[in-house]
Structure 1
Amino acid sequence: MPASGGAVPEHVAIIMDGNRRWAEARGLPVALGHKAGAEAVRRTIEACAAQGVGWLTLFAFSSENWLRPAEEVRALTGLLRLYLRSEVATLAKEGIRLRVIGDRARFGTDTMREIERAETVTAGGTRLNLNVALSYGARDEIVAAARAIARAAQAGTLDPESLDEAAFAGRLFTAGMPDPDLIIRTSGEQRLSNFLLWQAAYAEFVFQEVLWPDYGAEHLARALRDYGRRERRYGARTG
């Protein structure tokens, strides 16, 4: 029985916020906050699969995160490599397909190989599609799509008059994926922070006070119940 009490969203996207504050509140290094956040990722993946969510996109590392202190960036990228190595077999066993969206080249050759290996090993998963946004920024994504379209038009392989929303979306990192139905942000902040700006056009939003390392199945269930009570209109007026 879905915990939402109504329709279960096909695609849930989460802005995982609060690792740093969680660690600072406990007098711990920021790296331990990110490690605790990785445990919350594991719980949330399991909860989404159990609730029948088909797609889950996690905002793990933004393009702006490269501006953080070098020590924190090293901890984040090291944790990413560790996660890819340690979790891929479990993801494959549980029927979870992993894909990474974003500028993966910025992580270097070794990490890119780990990403590609994880995507290959989990490619047959059908229980849950897991997208992890790494070195991702929505404005960069949209600009890159516009550049690709401009090059195609200049080369004569694309008629600008034939370009529509679907064709534009096909140039984004999320090509072939459904747009998110529900976007959740933790830690009480209420902004998108350059996440899925194009794809979020008709998404529902839930902002939760919990810091990400404390996130679990009960928090997800609460967000799904909130979503299930809403009437989605996609811009259409009723009444």
Structure 2
Amino acid sequence: QTLDGLSFSQASGTMNAGDDFVIRPTQNAATGIKLTITDASKLAVGGPALSSATYITNTGTATISSPTAASSYSSSPMVGALGLTYNSGVPGTLTLAPSSQPVTVTSGGTSTTFPAGAAVTYTSGATITVGGLSFAISGTPTDGDQFIITPNITNGPGDNRNGLLLAGLQGQSTVQSTGSNSKISYSSAFSQLVNNVGNKTRELKVTGAAEAKVLEQATAAVQSESGVNLDEEATNLLRYQQAYQAAGKMMQIASQLFDVLLQLGR
């Protein structure tokens, strides 16, 4: 069974009608979050493995961006320079040398893959992916303009590109928004979470105070009908005591009168 990206199955045994199961896949997720790196020098914020350049002899205005290596690049890194040459025409194309791997061009959310050795259609600003690395050429090149990507064989100075990419995640829409189909950044999601928790906490406090007042009023109404008023009960007790004493006095007088009548009869 797969539900909301979570897959589970019955490992063994037989279920009976009415059996209940509780699945809490994220109940203890936060308990495993911890800081593993405390030394800032161990953060790979730079990207010295690859560098790119635009030939100074180019006559066009096109420039090449810094290449970004994907996780698959480390398994088969570049052993030599990758050259790109622009060829004018309709459309303009790029020729890669060496051209031993397919090339994928992504523009406007649409990706097109060209086989190894084929001319690649040029689109300004499009992301070009080949051999686990990605880059973009932007601007207007002229026929014969060349660009080059080279691997660094020594540990050169970092250019902070990884740090900039990491910082850029703050503004990227990667988190599903609550109550909608849109995505928001994780900083906005965190702010939304804090706001929701604060609103719910305040709502519960107000609701609790209102319910406490309703309970107080209901208790007072019940007590007014069936409760015991000590002052009233004390007054009634005195009244009953005096009535009892008065009745006793009447009985005493009646007994005395009866005795008097008996004596007169004798």
**Higher RCO structure, 1 or 2 (CA under 8 Å, sep 6+):** 1
Q: TM-score, normalised by structure 2?
A: 0.20
Q: TM-score, normalised by structure 1?
A: 0.22
